[in-house]
């Protein structure tokens, strides 16, 4: 078991390295001179050259990469081209906002997803099952950014129940877990949760239905073992796959938060990414992509380890 964890962690290293290369290359493959993008248009060629040299952008790519990597590893992500602030602080700050949103969205997705899936799985073929299947397919096909807009229309525009944008009342940049702030998170979280919820529901339903159809269960029931025990059995068998799917969805959730955050102007990592793209703020761009990707890699690692802890079959690596 420990060996498996160690191997799995070790496997993360080359992936991390590859991810960092991709992050680095991504922004450097962009057409157009990054320097002239943020300098005033009248800047002379000498000024451009000087700034380029100062930022180290005229050195060969591999050298730039190593230079960048050596700084990133110690947490120095550089300085934002747009507003001069420390990239690391900006990104971490934005990321923590995204996490706040995720921490509301994930429980929603997991709870409703499991409930929907389990009910479907238990009551196969009934009306309840058919309804939840329809809901699930709808949920999987819905563009979450559109759903966000529709929710805003319903709850903010037509009926002024919930706010349409922002992450807190007034200009407050600090978050607190009270309803004053949480009400801002409701609509974004719901929009983010629908797709993962549907995917989780679909997977859970399939697993539950499969477990219930096993002869094992019929034998248990024939022996007179109560439904509760059967339920425990179902949970134990459905757990590994379910955890896997939740893990994957968590990863995607954070990666795809950019669209929802844009709709609601929620100051998360996705929102930051959006701004950085349009301002061609390379350091922020690199920093955000790196952090988001690393989080995804980390989530995958966690899911694999968790799965191995629960399902001994996985450990035979």
Partner 1 sequence: MNESAVSPNLDAGHIGTSKNSRFRETLYRLAKDWVFIVASVVMGAILGSAILAPLVATHDPLSISILSRLQPIGSEGHILGTDELGRDMYSRLIYGARLSLAMALLPVFFAFGIGTGLGVAAGYFGGTINSIIMRSIDVFFAFPSVLLAIAISGALGSSTTNVILSLVIVFVPPISRVAESRTTEVVGLEYIDAARISGASDFTIIRVHLFSNIVGPVFVYASSMISVSIILASGLSFLGLGVKPPTPEWGVMLNTLRNAIYVQPWVAALPGCFIFVSSLCFNLISDSIRTAMDIKP
Partner 2 sequence: MKNSNANKALFNRDPILKVTGLNKVFGRSKGFFGKSTSLVQAVTDVDFEVYPGETLAIVGESGCGKSTTARLILRLIEPDSGNIIVDGMDISKNDALELKHLRKSVQMVFQDSYASLNPRLTIGQAVMFGPRTLGLSIVKAREIARETLSNVGLDPTRFEGLFPHQISGGQRQRGNIARSLAFRPKIVVMDEPLSALDKSIEAQVVNLLCDLRDQYNLTYVFISHDLNVVQYIADRVLVMYLGKVVEIGDVGSLFSNPRHPYTRALMASVPSRDPKIRTQSAPIMGDLPSPINPPSGCRFRTRCPYAEDICGAEVPLLTPQKSAGGNQVACHMEKIGSGHSKGGILDE
Q: Does 125 bind partner 1 (CB under 8 A)?
A: no
Instruction: Please give the Cα distance from 183 to 95 (Å, whole number).
Output: 20
> Rounded CA gap, 114 and 87, in Å?
38
CB of 317 to partner 1, least distance (A): 16
User: What residues line the site for partner 2 (CB under 8 A)?
Assistant: 7, 10-11
Residues 225-264 that bind partner 1 (CB under 8 A): 251-252, 254-256, 258-259, 262-263
Query: Using CB distances below 5 to 8 A depending on partner kind, what does residue 292 bind out of partner 1, partner 2, none?
Result: partner 1
Task: Name residues contacting partner 1, limited to 134-193 (CB under 8 A).
Answer: 137-138, 140-147, 149-150, 152-153, 157-158
CA distance 146 to 1: 44
**Choices 24-32, 110-118, 178-186, 215-223; region in contact with partner 1 by CB under 8 A:** 24-32
Q: What values do phi and psi take at 58, rounded to 5?
A: -100, 0
- Residue 8 or 183: which CB sits closer to partner 2? 8
Count of residues engaged in binding partner 1, rule: CB under 8 A? 47
**Alpha carbon distance 97, 292 (integer Å):** 13
Minimum distance of partner 2 from residue 301's CB (angstroms): 15
Q: Does residue 267 touch partner 1 according to CB under 8 A? A: no
| Residue tagged 């399939």 (tokens) | 206
Find the DSSP H helices in the chain: 2-28, 34-38, 45-54, 61-73, 87-122, 127-141, 144-152, 179-212, 215-222, 227-255, 257-264, 269-279, 282-310
Establish if 122 lies at the interface with partner 1 (CB under 8 A): no
Tokens encoding 72: 């990133």
Helical segments of 213-281, H only: 215-222, 227-255, 257-264, 269-279
Instruction: Give the Cβ contact number of residue 44 at 10 Å.
Output: 9
The answer to the question of residue 131 lying near partner 1 (CB under 8 A) is no
Query: Which residues would be at the binding site for partner 1 (CB under 8 A)?
Result: 15, 18-19, 22, 26-27, 29-32, 137-138, 140-147, 149-150, 152-153, 157-158, 206, 251-252, 254-256, 258-259, 262-263, 273-274, 277-278, 285, 289, 292-293, 296-297, 300
């Amino acid at each position: 078991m420990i060996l498996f964890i160690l191997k799995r962690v070790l496997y993360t290293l080359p992936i991390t390295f590859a991810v960092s290369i991709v992050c680095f290359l991504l922004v450097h493959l962009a057409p157009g001179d990054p320097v002239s993008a943020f300098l005033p248009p009248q800047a002379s060629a000498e000024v451009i050259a000087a700034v380029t040299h100062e930022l180290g952008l005229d050195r060969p790519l591999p050298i730039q990469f190593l230079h960048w990597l050596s700084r990133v590893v110690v947490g120095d992500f550089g300085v934002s081209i747009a507003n001069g602030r420390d990239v690391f602080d900006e990104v971490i700050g934005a990321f923590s906002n995204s996490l706040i949103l995720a921490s509301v969205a994930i429980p929603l997705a997991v709870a409703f997803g499991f409930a929907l899936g389990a009910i479907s799985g238990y009551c196969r073929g009934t009306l309840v099952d058919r309804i939840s299947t329809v809901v699930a397919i709808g949920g999987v096909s819905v563009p979450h950014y559109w759903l966000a807009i529709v929710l805003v229309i319903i709850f903010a525009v037509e009926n002024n129940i919930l706010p349409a944008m922002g992450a807190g009342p007034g200009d407050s940049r600090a978050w607190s877990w009270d309803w004053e702030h949480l009400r801002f998170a409701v609509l974004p979280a719901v929009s983010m949760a629908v797709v993962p919820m549907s995917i989780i529901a679909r997977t859970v339903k399939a697993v539950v239905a499969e477990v219930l159809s096993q002869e094992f269960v019929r034998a248990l029931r024939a022996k007179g073992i109560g439904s509760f025990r059967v339920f425990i059995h179902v949970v134990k068998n459905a757990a590994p796959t379910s955890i896997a799917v939740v893990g994957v969805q968590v990863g995607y959730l954070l990666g795809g938060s950019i669209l929802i955050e844009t709709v609601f102007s929620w100051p998360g990592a996705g929102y930051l990414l959006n701004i950085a793209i349009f301002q061609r703020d390379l350091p922020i761009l690199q920093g955000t992509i790196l952090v988001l990707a690393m989080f995804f890699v980390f989530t995958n690692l966690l899911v694999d380890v968790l799965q191995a802890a629960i399902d001994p079959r996985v450990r035979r690596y």
